[in-house]
Structure formats: structure tokens, C-alpha cells
Amino acid sequence: MRNIWAIGRREFSSYFNSAIAYIAITVFLVLVGICVFYADDFLDNNEATLRPFLSWVPLLFIFFLPAVTMRLISEEKKTGSLEMLITMPIRDVELVLGKLLGAFMFLLMTLALTLVYPVLIDYLGPLDWGTVIGGYLGLILLGLAYLGVGVMTSCWTKNQIVAFILALLICAVLYFIDWVVGTLAGSWGEVFAHFSFKAHFDNIAKGVLDTRDIIFYLSVVILTITISTFSLESRRWT
Amino acid sequence: MSSAEPIQKDEAHQAAKSSDNVPMIEVNNLRKFYGPVEALRGISFQVGRGEIVGFLGPNGAGKTTTMKILTGYISATAGTYRVAGHDGYSESLELREKIGYLPENAPLYPDMGVTEYLEFVCRIRRIPKNEWSARIASIIQRCGLSAMAHKDIGDLSKGYRQRVGLAQAMIHEPPILILDEPTSGLDPNQIVEIRNLIKELGKDRTIILSTHNLPEVQMTCTRMIIIADGRKVADGTAEELQQAGEDARFITSIRLPDNTTAEEVIQQLEALNGVAKVENMPSPAGHFRAALTANGDTDLSDEIFQCVTSKEWALTELRRDIVDLEKVFHKLTQY
């Protein structure tokens, strides 16, 4: 546990050692604002709702979160510092969990900053804070699953950009899988809907808190952590 | 109670003594393939407590690969190894706790400050938090980093980054240090400082260091292991390696009496038991100097001394010639 915390802490604080994190958060918040208030005629609809927010943030996350995770392990592979970290008394799974924790803290901080939008909307008209809580819980779970995918692809390559693109593709496919496959294969769409990030997110965002949705996201996180750990361990297989 | 004390002390003393005989590093027939390439072809060696062992070899000989296996970064294809009594496979975590490792080129986090980084290492190394500041202050002072303590690692020169790498390897006071080219990229003054630091540390722990620099090994290490093409080709002290495989050579100087010529002396010396060759060497007038090569590793000094004294010549020099270590290295690593 202490190793996970040590690595998570270091990762979280290293986000702020360069200006990139500040720029990324600012751009993300501005984009969310533009999408929420302008893309769907929100201001003309005359309804105080979090719906546009909850439909846009998952899409923006597909770009934003892979950018958060891309360097986590790939950069250490490239510079060689991974060797230093791995030869310390740390289990490979602790290393992966620590990296994920660092990115997760960054996600929580970003989400906390987006609270400015529900507050703004509430100022325009009364907002149902129950849906806000449900929506944020959904975003946290969805975001964590995206981060898991990002950590996993970051384990696969030395190249941050490759890690970013792979994570983005996987997240996009998983988000839209029911829509993509559903139109093509009819009844198969129902099967694939079970693997869709979007379908599970929509359930939670509607305020329907079903353990199946929560278990789904946690399963994705556990799966990506497992694959990441195996990827790291693969250096020992000869 | 008090009467039992001396016995306990004695037992503890004996236990400590017997643990001295247990090798801190024990490597048995280690082999490593990178795909089809065989990087290590069965390497075995042992390193005891208090030894500073220099790993020598040409580029690509397998020095770094061996170190990466010992520190648990990669695993061997075959063979076993134990470090501080811990098996390399089943007790990897315990093993890593006992090792301080400086990989080649000291890959650190450039965006972290020196002190911040050492705190991170303290946390991972499970050093109690109330000891951090004292430990960090002492290691920063020992590694000559005082002026750099508040800088970012990325802003440091290669030499200082190397020192931060050494500091992180030593901060938990491990019994074993594994250093991959600890002095590469340092200027001559820094090399001397790091060398002295390593020597001082080596008094009570086990150190393996790799280097291309032969004088460094002679000055720092108590023993050297030479690796070439994935095999161990030599293992011993500098003196042992210098003498191994070479015919012994002795240098002698004599002050010549007026009635004696150099030729006469050469004749006398050539007649001695075990002498293969006598080479006249340049010498001041009235003196004679020669190099005598023995058949194999025979000690000629007694023979020479007796011959010279029986003739009542004045002996001014008699010593065994030291073979240049670079020649030994070259000879052993040619393939």
C-alpha cells in the first residue's frame, strides 16, 4: 500500500512540474463549457439540466484522459528510469496501481473543477442535485476505466504518442461499440451493448444506480490492471 | 544472568564470523538469451562481504546484463543466483531490499528536485519518516551534492546526476551495492571523489561495479572479474591476473666492478637454473641492468641474489616485473 501511495503521490505532483498540466486542464474546462452551453442550444432550451454536460464530458474524456495517462510508463521506459523503479522493492502490480492512482487523483481534481458548471446551471435555474451526484459518480467510474486503458497502452510502448493513440482508439471503440455493432449486426447489438461504456454510463447518469454498471466498470479497471502487470512482467519472460 | 552474558556474546561473535564466510552474492551458471543471441553463456562467481569487485570486459561482454539480472530487472534464461541469502526468483522483493543499484547513465526523474527525489526514495525504501531529513542531509553531504540540493535533477550536469544516482542507491544503507559504470561521464576530480566514496563504503559492505577503466579497478577494487563474450575469463586480484599465464620476469641491476664486463654477467645469469632469457637493458656507465625471463612462474629472486653475492657484486635492484594490466585484459578478452 505504501508503495502505491508513494508512486501515486509522485505522479500526481509531477503533473504540475510543467505547464502542460495547467494548459491541458484549462483547455479541457473551456471545451466543456463551449460544448455544454453552445453546441446543443442549451441557452435557448430554457431548461436547467446537466444532460448536455453528461453527454459531452465522456466524449471529451476520450481525448483528455489518454493524454493524462500516455506518459505514465512509456516515458519511464524511454528514459530508463523504469529500471530504477522496478529494481526497488516494489511489486509490478503496485507500480501499475501507483501510476493509476496518480492519474486518478488528477481526474478527481479535474472533475472537482468542472463542478463550476453545475453551479452555473443551478444559478440559471433550479438543478436536480441528485442527478449531479449520479452523473459525477458515473464520470468517476467511466474516467477510471479510461485511465485503466491508458495505463495499459502506456505499458505497451516507449512512445507516448503511440500510447495516446492506442488508448484513444480503444476508449472510443468501447464507448461506441453498441452503436457501431448495433447498426451492423442487428440482434448482436444487444450483446455488444453489454460491453458499451456509453450504455453503462447512461444508466448511472440517469440516476439509476445498478450494481451491474458499477461492477462492469470495476471489471474493466481490474482487467486493464492485470494486463498492465503482465505487460510489465513480460520483460522477465525469456 | 550476568554469567550467561559472555557466552551469548561469544556465540553472537561466532555467528557473525560464520556469516562472513557465506557469500553475499552467489551466481551459478547464469545464462541469458536475447532472442537468438546468447548474451551470457554460463557465468558463475561468488562475492563475499567487504569485497569490492570490478566487473571488466569489452562492450557487449555481458556486464550490464549480469547486473540487470542480479538486481531483478530482467530474469536469466537459466542458472540460479542468491543475493544476501535470498533466491533470485522466489525472494525477489527481499533481495531488492538488500541492494542499492545505480543503472548505467543514472536514469532519474528530470522534473524532480534532488531533495524531493531522495524523499521519494526514502518513502519507497520504508525509511521511517522521522529519519528522512537526517539521512538525506548526510547522503547529500557524502555525495558532494550540498550545492545542488534544491535544484531540479534535469538541470544538473552529468557528474552531479551520477552522484544523485549514487545517493539513491545508498540512502537505505544496503549491504550490497551494484553500480554500473559509476564514474562514467565524471571529470577527473569527481572520479577521485567517487572512488574514495566507494572505497570507504566498501569497508563494511559488498560492492560490484562495472567499468572500462582499468586503473580505476586497480585503485578501487579488491578483486576483478573479467567477462568476455558472455563468459568469465578471469577472476582474481590485480596481482594474480598480472601473473597468470605470463612467464615471470625479474629486473635486476648490479654495480659493475672495474674488471667485469656486462657480457660476463650475462653469461653468469644465463647459466642460472630456470632462466629462459636475459635481456640487457640500458643503464648508466659502470652499471648493469637486465630483465630475466623465467621458464613459467618460477621465482628467480633467490637464484639471482645468490649468484650476485657469490661474485661479490653490488646488487642495486632486484624485483619482479609487473605486467601491464591492459596487456592482460587485451590478451584475455581477445576472441
Q: Does A186 touch chain B (CB under 8 A)?
A: no
Complete edge-to-edge strand list for the sheet that includes strand B78-83: B37-47, B25-34, B78-83, B86-87
CB of B229 closer than 8 Å to CB of B41? yes
Residue A225 lies in a domain: yes
Nearest chain A residue to B95 by CA distance is A89
Domain count for chain A, please give it: 1
- Would you tell me the crossing angle of helices A160-185 and A71-79 to the nearest 10 degrees? 140
Question: What are B57-102's pLDDT values in tens digits?
Answer: 888 889 999 999 999 999 899 999 999 989 988 899 999 999 999 9
My answer on whether B94 and B123 are in the same domain is: yes
Q: Determine whether the interchain pair A17/B111 forms a contact, defined as Cβ–Cβ distance below 8 Å.
A: yes
A15-24, B75-84, B226-235, B294-303: which has the minimum mean pLDDT? B294-303
**Signed CA dihedral, B132, B136, B137, B139: sign only:** positive
Q: Determine what percent of chain A is predicted with pLDDT higher than 90.
A: 58
Phi and psi torsions of B2, nearest 5° = -70, -25
- Output the pLDDT for position B245: 61
Domain that holds residue A59: 2-40+51-236
My answer on whether B272 and B142 are in the same domain is: no
Domain that holds residue B92: 10-243
- Output the pLDDT for position B299: 81
Residue after which a domain boundary falls, among B210, B243, B276: B243
- Output the pLDDT for position B202: 83
My answer on whether B192 and B287 are in the same domain is: no
Domain count for chain B, please give it: 2
Give the number of other CB atoms < 10 A from CB of residue B31.
17
Q: What angle do CA B120, B125, B126 make, to 5 degrees?
A: 100
CB of A103 closer than 8 Å to CB of A151? yes
Residue A46 lies in a domain: no
Which residues of A fall within a CB distance of 8 Å from B122? none
Q: Determine whether the interchain pair B103/A10 forms a contact, defined as Cβ–Cβ distance below 8 Å.
A: no
State the pLDDT confidence band at A237, using cuts at 50, 70 and 90.
Answer: low
- Give the domain CATH number at B300: 3.30.70.1340
Which residues of B fall within a CB distance of 8 Å from A5? 123
My answer on whether B236 and B256 are in the same domain is: no
This prediction's pTM: 0.82
Q: Cell numbers of A140, please? A: 468517476
My answer on whether B152 and B284 are in the same domain is: no
My answer on whether B35 and B128 are in the same domain is: yes
Question: Which residues in B have their CB inside 8 Å of a CB on A?
Answer: 32-34, 68, 71-77, 93-94, 96-97, 99, 101, 103-105, 107-112, 120-121, 123-126, 168
CA-closest candidate to residue B206, choices B97, B98, B65, B105: B98
The letter for the amino acid at B219 is M
Question: What are A171-182's pLDDT values in tens digits?
Answer: 998 888 777 766
Q: Determine whether the interchain pair A87/B72 forms a contact, defined as Cβ–Cβ distance below 8 Å.
A: yes
Q: Determine whether the interchain pair A236/B74 forms a contact, defined as Cβ–Cβ distance below 8 Å.
A: yes
State the pLDDT confidence band at B14, using cuts at 50, 70 and 90.
Answer: very low
- Output the pLDDT for position A126: 84
Q: Does A235 touch chain B (CB under 8 A)?
A: yes
My answer on whether B238 and B253 are in the same domain is: no
CA count, 13 A, side-chain hemisphere, B165: 31
What is the length of chain B? 335
Spatial separation of the C-alpha atoms in residues A162 and A153, rounded to whole Å: 8
Nearest chain B residue to A9 by CA distance is B120
- Give the domain CATH number at B144: 3.40.50.300
Nearest chain A residue to B104 by CA distance is A80
